[in-house]
Amino acid sequence: MEMLSNPDVFRKEDVELVKTIYKMGGEATASELSEFENTNPFAYNFPVVHLAKRIHRYTNCTVPKRKNGKERWWHVPFLGRYREDKTFSWILRPELKEAIKEKYFYLEDEEEEVNISEPINYWWLTADPNIWSFDNVKIGQTFTYSSRNERGNKKRIYRNFENVKKGDKVILYEKAIVGIGHVSKEHDGEKIWVTKDENLIQPIQYSFIKSVEGLKNMEFMTNLQGSLFKLTKEEYELIMDIIREQNPITTVKTYNTYTKEEFLEEVFMEEDQYENMVELLKYKKNLILQGPPGVGKTFVAKRIAYSIMGEKDSSRIEMIQFHQSYSYEDFIMGYRPEEKGFKLKYGIFYKFCRRALNDPNRPYFFIIDEINRGNISKIFGELMMLIEADKRGSEYAIPLTYTEDKFYVPENVYIIGTMNTADRSLAMIDYALRRRFCFVNIKPAFDNLNFKGYLESKSGELSKIIIEKMTSLNEDIENDLSLGWGFSIGHSYFCIDKDTITEEDYKNIINYEILPLLSEYWIDDNSKLMEWKRKLLEW
């Protein structure tokens, strides 16, 4: 009872959730909760996990674990069981149910009124992307759809609008199935209210839909004159099976926290540079880390993302590497050959943006390794404008090369590129892209106190020799007019996966990793190469 009244444990939304389950008899599936509250059935996992963690902190109770050792957090506030139809339901623990009954005793009288089995209808709602798009609607946002045309006359198949009721399920279609929603308010004779529950990362194309045997007779296929079409339960379930096959549900997981302090300890960077990088990325939304080989640019990119997220959630990070053959079709979308012709395939960045649209309140990070190796203009195409920080959002949506459907880059997507400053075979990055990014130099960390401590813990007195020799080498490289700081040798050559770094390890790094690089730097100056070989290997 005391814990239920403590707002630091049971927040307002947690109290409402357990009260709702109590109303439903003390047991409910996520689907039953979503129908009862007109919400997304996948919206409950995350809050339940965090409620469980607060209960654990308050009571220090034992957290049940799965066979693989991971915590079964939901089991803290609830019991659970699989029903005959294979659905899983949460059951209020007896002590929690008793506390709810005592604190909210009036619910006993309301329990009789709850009817969770009232049948619902299923609808297919179409939009013309030339007029408006479902992509303009955010997850959880409610939009209205008029049941009358511009002249005030009833739209075709008006009976469908009359039959719409709160809680009905809606398939959102605009030349492809692009989302799922539910009716959140009764039809008032003028319009219907629909709340968007999910964007499809992989939209279901019309060409595929019409080939499905069980959908050939649905109202949308037999009567194209209209905008709101009735679906049978069987048709809706078949459509949902197709959707889930191509858009599987991502389960909510808990991840290890990741702090600024952990970043500074791992990355060997000064705090002010880290703060500056984070500020630039949040402001510009696009950042390029440039530096010589071996400074850990890709490593830094992932950990910047982790530190902003506050946890090591790799599901919100996508990483690719550009190369000369990489194209718009790989990145955004394009037609690919199949047995019966060509099919429009969505690219990695397009799908990533749609994932981010489904989770608008959390940041997502797209990392492009070796960004200057690709033909930037060819790869980004019309997205060159859309990635700008002030061009994010649905109001800037534009049609893409291969489809009239409009597309935009969500505000919660951040792009981080990496660029090797020592690669002379590459041209400078496209100027049109350059002005859309902030550039941060990542330099060797041989003078960083954390790195010195790390190296000393691995190699003892040898660490002083390594730092002295590499610092001297980098000074010579920086002062060379044909090279400069961008050709320095990075510290990550000495971040090896061993408990100790021996003298033999050091010599192997010099002989097989650093000297081959120096031979490219001084390809026409063999005497200098030999001089540095001697300096690095003798002491």
pLDDT in tens, 241-262: 999 988 887 666 778 899 999 9
Question: What is residue 271's predicted lDDT score, i.e. its pLDDT?
Answer: 94
User: Rounded to whole angstroms, how far apart are CA atoms 2 and 422?
Assistant: 63
d(CA 30, CA 44): 7
Q: Compare 374 and 150 and report the one with higher pLDDT.
A: 374
User: Do β-strands 286-291 and 317-321 pair in parallel, antiparallel, or remain unpaired?
Assistant: unpaired
pLDDT given for residue 218 in this prediction: 93
What digits encode the pLDDT tens for the residues 406-446?
Answer: 889 999 999 999 999 988 655 566 677 788 999 999 999 99
Bridge partners of residue 403, in order along the sequence: 400
Calculate Rg over the CA atoms of the chain: 29
Q: Where are the domains of the chain?
A: 12-113, 122-246, 260-441, 449-537
Residue 91's nearest CA partner among 2, 158, 26, 171 is 26
Read off the pLDDT of residues 274-310 as tens digits, 9 standing for 90 and up: 999 999 999 999 999 999 999 999 999 999 999 999 9
Give the torsion sign (CA, 95, 100, 105, 108): negative
Residue that wins the pLDDT comparison between 49 and 534? 534
Does the pLDDT at position 197 exceed 60?
A: yes
CA distance 539 to 534: 9
Residue 474 reports pLDDT greater than 60: yes
Tell me the whole-structure pTM to 2 decimals.
0.69
Residue 400's φ and ψ, nearest 5 degrees, are -95, 170
Cα end-to-end span (Å), the chain: 72
For the chain, percent of residues with pLDDT exceeding 90: 52
Q: Which residue type does 125 have?
A: L
Share of the chain above pLDDT 70, in %: 93
- Over residues 161-194, the pLDDT tens digits come to 888 998 999 999 998 999 999 998 887 878 899 9
520: CB partners within 8 A, 6+ apart: none
Instruction: Specify whether domain 122-246 bears CATH 3.10.590.10.
Output: yes
Q: How far apart are alpha carbons 6 and 54 in whole angstroms? A: 11
Mean per-residue pLDDT over the chain, rounded: 87
Residues 6+ apart with CB under 8 A from 126: 173, 174, 220, 226, 227, 228, 229
- pLDDT tier at 114 (50, 70, 90 boundaries)? very low
User: Does the pLDDT at position 521 exceed 60?
Assistant: yes
Q: Which residue has the tokens 């659970």?
A: 80
Helix (H) or strand (E) holding 145: strand 142-146
> How would you label 406-426 residue by residue, b for 16+ Cβ within 10 Å and e otherwise?
bbbbbbbbbbbbbbbbbeeee
CATH 3.40.50.300 corresponds to the domain 260-441: yes
DSSP state string for 431-460: HHHHTTSEEEE----TT-HHHHHHHHHHHT
pLDDT of 395 reads 87
